[in-house]
Amino acid sequence: MSKKKTETLLSRDEPKERNVHSHIAPLYLSSTYIYPSVDEAQEIFKGRKKGHIYGRWSHPNAELVEEKLEAMQAKKNTKALLFSSGMAAIAAVFQALIKPGDKILVQGNIYGTTVDYLNHFSAQTGFESVFADLKKMNEVEALFKKHKFKVLYCETPSNPTIACYDLEKLSSIAHKNGAKVIVDNTFATPLLQQPLNLRADFEIDSSTKFLNGHGTGISGAVIGADKNFMEKDLWKIRKLNGSIISPMDAWLLNLGMKTLSVRMEKHCSNAMKVAEYLSKHKAVKSINYLGLKSHPDHKLAAKQMCGFGGVLSFELKDGYKAALKLMKHVKLCHLTASLGTTDTLIQHPASMSHYFVPKKQREEFGITDGLVRLSVGLENAEDIIEDLGRAMR
């Protein structure tokens, strides 16, 4: 080949093999991938050989984290796919499973935007969501006798009431009736609870939260027991919707996950100390933390999870006014609607994360005006307790 002119040289990256062995996984920002030969390109396009084609289909940064999520699972042969947000992950699974006219059974006290999504799209697409208390197994059985549900949707621990749901029992009822089970596992992460090992079909995590752990990206994961469905149906929806995680978010997620186990240990032990303090405070009417023996779901959580998590909620005796006063007076706890970061975050579901859920629907499932949610961080627990105590005076 003749020597190229300057503009030609500058405008191209030659795809040459470089003898570089990066210690930390590199960030691949390239939107497309070059093939060594026409034959190899054909093999990859036809799905006969593994390889990356285009960043909306797959990319090495997503693949690296997906492989880690699969390796974490006790259940064999699972497949993980990463999405641009937790909501994109939830929406993709519904899109893959639900058709107009279908019915789904949904736990009442779940993340507000999931309720908003179901209310909005069931009206638009013509499926029906039946919200119920999934603790009452007789009621669940009766609902399955009355309706032909395609899906049972559960979130455990629930946001923000921190209730724990019996995944083995619910999966057994759902499967007996031909329904798939989807579990939002965001509060637990696959480290503390593995829904697929408890017979659910899909685990969903908003990896924006504890999995990333540093508040530096938005992403979501779906882990599925049916590898074929994941690789063909769900992967196709992700490709067509263009909802894959970005390389940068996947790279940051991988970095965050390296410390997941040490972070979760400290989140859990700090949350326990704060919960014990709040359980004795005179301004607190009730406290929701699965680690407390007084929590009605403590025994179930101890059996189903291997740690009680870093999130708790508590109801103030003086309701809405007291909740807002607490939010105004905290100094260490950051007032923000997210959770799972290294610092302690406080929020008021009725006026923030669950504001879009109709008041009647919200209150029916325990999301009252006086409820405050705390995502307990990695600070010294005494400092968190001191901040809350001072703000509640």
Render the burial of 127-144: b for 16+ CB within 10 Å, e for the rest. Answer: bebebbebbeeeebeebb
Q: Does residue number 341 form part of the binding site for ligand PLP (CB under 6 A)?
A: no
Q: Which of 11-19, 33-41, 80-88, 122-130 is the region at the interface with ligand PLP (rule: CB under 6 A)?
A: 80-88
User: Min. distance of Cβ 87 from ligand PLP in angstroms?
Assistant: 4
Token readout for 285 is 């009417």
Contact with ligand PLP (CB under 6 A) among 181, 183, 218, 374: 218
Q: Which is nearer to ligand PLP, 73 or 85 (CB)?
A: 85
Q: Which is nearer to ligand PLP, 111 or 314 (CB)?
A: 111
Contact with ligand PLP (CB under 6 A) among 87, 106, 223, 372: 87
Residue the block writes with tokens 């700090």: 270
Contact with ligand PLP (CB under 6 A) among 85, 189, 344, 375: 85
Q: Which of 3-11, 81-89, 98-106, 169-177 is the region at the interface with ligand PLP (rule: CB under 6 A)?
A: 81-89
Taken in order 289, 275, 87, 24, the sign of the CA dihedral is: negative
How many residues interact with ligand PLP (rule CB under 6 A)?
Answer: 12
Taken in order 129, 133, 135, 140, the sign of the CA dihedral is: negative
Site mask for ligand PLP (CB under 6 A), range 121-160, x = bound: ----------------------------------x---x-
Contact with ligand PLP (CB under 6 A) among 33, 111, 131, 308: 111
Q: Which is nearer to ligand PLP, 189 or 206 (CB)?
A: 206
Q: Which is nearer to ligand PLP, 86 or 291 (CB)?
A: 86
Q: Does residue number 186 form part of the binding site for ligand PLP (CB under 6 A)?
A: yes
Cis peptide before 157 (omega within 30 of 0): yes
Q: Which is nearer to ligand PLP, 183 or 278 (CB)?
A: 183
Q: Does residue number 161 form part of the binding site for ligand PLP (CB under 6 A)?
A: no
Instruction: Report d(CA 209, CA 149) in Å as an integer.
Output: 30
User: Min. distance of Cβ 101 from ligand PLP in angstroms?
Assistant: 26
Contacts of 94 (CB under 8 A, 6+ apart): 104, 117, 121, 151
Contacts of 179 (CB under 8 A, 6+ apart): 105, 144, 149, 150, 151, 152
Kindly report the three-state secondary structure assignment for every residue of 212-261: CCCCCCCCEEEEECCHHHHHHHHHHHHHHHCCECCHHHHHHHHHHHCCHH
Instruction: Report d(CA 10, CA 152) in Å as an integer.
Output: 55
Contact with ligand PLP (CB under 6 A) among 78, 107, 109, 206: 206
Q: Does residue 127 sit in helix, strand or coil?
A: coil
User: Min. distance of Cβ 321 from ligand PLP in angstroms?
Assistant: 26
Helices (H), the chain: 6-10, 38-45, 60-72, 86-97, 112-125, 137-146, 167-176, 189-192, 227-229, 235-241, 247-257, 260-279, 298-304, 319-329, 359-364, 381-391
Structural element, H or E, at residue 346: strand 345-347
Q: Does residue number 184 form part of the binding site for ligand PLP (CB under 6 A)?
A: yes
Which residue type, as a one-letter code, is found at position 294? S
Q: Does residue number 213 form part of the binding site for ligand PLP (CB under 6 A)?
A: no
User: Min. distance of Cβ 83 from ligand PLP in angstroms?
Assistant: 9
User: Min. distance of Cβ 336 from ligand PLP in angstroms?
Assistant: 11
**Contact footprint for ligand PLP (CB under 6 A):** 85-87, 111, 155, 159, 184, 186, 206, 208, 218, 220
